[in-house]
Chains A and B, each alone.
Chain A
Amino acid sequence: MALGEIMWAPPPALAGLTALLGELEGPTWVEVVRGDQTEKFVGLMDDLRRRFSATGDGKRITCCYAYMGVEPALAWATACRDLMYPVMKQSIESFGERWRSVQGSVGAPSHYVSLGPGDGQKDGVILDDLPGLCYVPVDASTEMLRLAVRDLIVGRRRTKENVLSLSWDFAAREHLVALRGLLDRVCGDTPVLFSLLGNTLANFDDDADLLRLLATELLRPRDRLLLEVATTRELTAELACAAAAEYESSQTFGEFVTAALRRYTDLHVDRDSVEYVGGVVDDRALMVKMVYRNRTGGDLTFVLPNRAEVRFVEGDTIRLAVSRKYSVSGVEGMLAGAGLAVLADSRSEFTGGSGFGLSLLVLAPRSGSSSAVTLADRVWSR
């Protein structure tokens, strides 16, 4: 059966709703929300009250909150379309070609669950090859979700009846368990293609743990995970500095990383106080930390959305974002730890000889443990 031959059939409970959607004008779709936004802010408030750190290891805005709110979502969408941000531009423009080179290994027709759809440009490319199937974008940021889905529906790349938007945190185990349960009901036995694109994995503190969580809680044997990660040829201090400079060079990315700070604090944000610090971590990746440092020459106090006051002394930092570029062995180690097997891998290097590139991988859950002797081992043993 070719990709896309099966059709999304809404369960009876949703049949009436999808019929209604067809009658409503404009971009409308079904969105399922868990809890309310105030729940999400509790963790952010705690993170912004952490101890002093001159190295960006204290106060922080974690990935989950960096995209929340209209301003950060719009700033990210702007960065994605910034012609002066060459790495982002190359990543998006080359995605279609890279997707087509690995598409064949996805196998059976699949519903598509996008974990962190971003501005939806890459999802649009994939959805063009999955007509009629259900599109389930998942993101803790309702605003990001709505930007992505709206563009896809307005651009007629997905009919509104085929979209089930979930404003859920895919890094939280309970949300993943609920997502799996929902997919089992909605999709039945049809395989699911999950995606985690745009090097999103690298933005999480516990990236390897997140990958393991996705593999264990979400993937069934016939499901696939499309993972896109940034890669580096080597792990050196020079390349770490180059990686930091890559992010620092983009005006629009700078606007994005400070957008959350503007939204959640009353600090007068000075762009010159944002530092991009590169380093090598765990012999598996280059890490770039984007930190905001108090360089005013005196102590400050900022106010959080819950009106709590936080002292921000001279030299203290707030980590705004974190990203990584993985070595080949670093990626392999993460995949082995998560029990994932690579079905296809499209690697491309950025122009300019920077040593950086992107890897688009089609992954499947391993049937046994990595130490077990597989059928392949028996075939190729001497």
Chain B
Amino acid sequence: MARSSLIAVATFGSVGVAAVVSLVWFWVSSGAGRFEPAVGTLGMLGGLTGILAERRASARDRRAAVLATLRDEVRRAGAVLDGPVFAAGGGSSPPRVYPRLPVSAVDAALVSGALTERGDTELLTRLHQWRDEVTGFNRRLEITETRLFGAGAAHEAADFDRALRRGGGCLEVVRRHRGVLADLLDAGR
């Protein structure tokens, strides 16, 4: 058994035993002697529900914060994709450093454990797919820049521009993934 589970069993076991003892104490005692087990039982019950309620509220706040951060990052990714560099119909240009798609909020969200609700399964799947697409897209941008700047192949800028914007290519796919993810995040408000 895991240590966290062992602690939970010990904690709730102790509380349960204490509750049973308090009930038996309340049953066998009489008069003013019943106040003490009654106060102890109600105090334990209040403490338990308070801890659970606080944990639940904290989880909800953390989830809301994570979703807000994700929405902001996906919106910024949309601004990059719709910006002058990647806009549909944008003209060719000399070699340049391309803007990258941000993905740090997605990384943080995936490791935060904030998305654990039953309905978060699809969102988690989409986040993993989006992260893979963005990582691949940004990596291709790096290779493109390395080729154009580092290998003295500035004359190939138009080739790379054409390949990047090709129908059904990486840019189109990453745009589609972003749209799906944005809709999913907006629906989860």
Give the segment of A28-36, A167-175, A343-351 that binds chain B.
A343-351
CB distance from B147 to the nearest CB of A (A): 7
Q: In the complex, how many residue pairs between chain A and chain B have their CB atoms under 8 Å apart?
A: 73
| A374 to B158 Cα, complex, angstroms | 11
Q: Closest residue of chain A to B133, judged by CB?
A: A382
Is A376 in contact with chain B by the CB < 8 A criterion?
yes
Least CB separation from A378: chain B residue: B163
Q: How far is the CA of A107 from the CA of B170 in the complex (A)?
A: 29
Q: How many B residues face the partner with a CB closer than 8 A? A: 24
From B6-14, B15-23, B47-55, B90-98, the one touching the partner chain is B90-98
- For A342, the chain B residues whose CB sits under 8 A away are 91-92, 158, 161
Chain B positions within 8 Å of A102 at CB level: 94
Q: Check if A375 is an interface residue, CB within 8 A of chain B.
A: yes
In the complex, what residues of A have CB within 8 A of residue B128's CB?
Answer: none
Tell me the smallest distance from the CB of B178 to a CB of chain A, in Å: 16
Q: Interface size bucket, A side? A: 20 to 34
Contact A344 B94 (CB under 8 A): yes
Contacts of B169 in A (CB 8 A): 380-382
Which residues of A (332-361) have their CB < 8 Å from a CB of B?
A: 341-345, 347
Interface residue stretch chosen among B67-75, B118-126, B149-157: B149-157
* B176 interface contact, C-beta 8 A: no
- Contact between B91 and A347 (Cβ–Cβ < 8 Å)? yes
Closest to B136 in A: A382
B173 at interface (Cβ–Cβ under 8 A)? yes
**CA A380 to CA B91, docked complex, whole Å:** 18
A345-B92, A375-B147 in contact; A380/B164 too (CB < 8 A)? yes
User: Is A376 a contact of B144 with CB atoms below 8 Å?
Assistant: yes
Q: From residue 61 to 106 of chain B, which have CB atoms closer than 8 A to chain A?
A: 91-95
**Distance (whole angstroms) from the CB of B135 to the closest CB of chain A:** 14
Which of B93, B94, B155, B163 contacts A380, CB < 8 Å? B163
B108 at the interface (CB under 8 A from A): no
How does the 8 Å CB contact mask read for B132-143 relative to A, with 1 for contact and 0 for none?
000000001001
Contact yes or no, B170 A382, CB < 8 A: yes
Nearest CB of A to B164, in Å: 5
- B170 neighbours in A (Cβ, 8 Å): 380, 382
Contact: A341 with B158, CB < 8 Å?
yes
* B166 pairs with A380, CB closer than 8 A: yes
Residue of A nearest to B90 (CB): A345
9 contacts across the A-B interface (CB closer than 8 A): A105-B94, A343-B155, A344-B92, A374-B159, A376-B162, A379-B160, A380-B144, A381-B163, A382-B170
* Contacts beyond the supplied A344-B94, A375-B156, A380-B160: 10 A-B pairs with Cβ under 8 Å: A221-B155, A341-B158, A343-B94, A343-B158, A345-B92, A376-B160, A376-B163, A377-B159, A379-B144, A381-B163
Chain A residues packing against B (C-beta within 8 Å)? 102, 104-105, 107, 221, 341-345, 347, 362, 364, 366-367, 374-377, 379-382
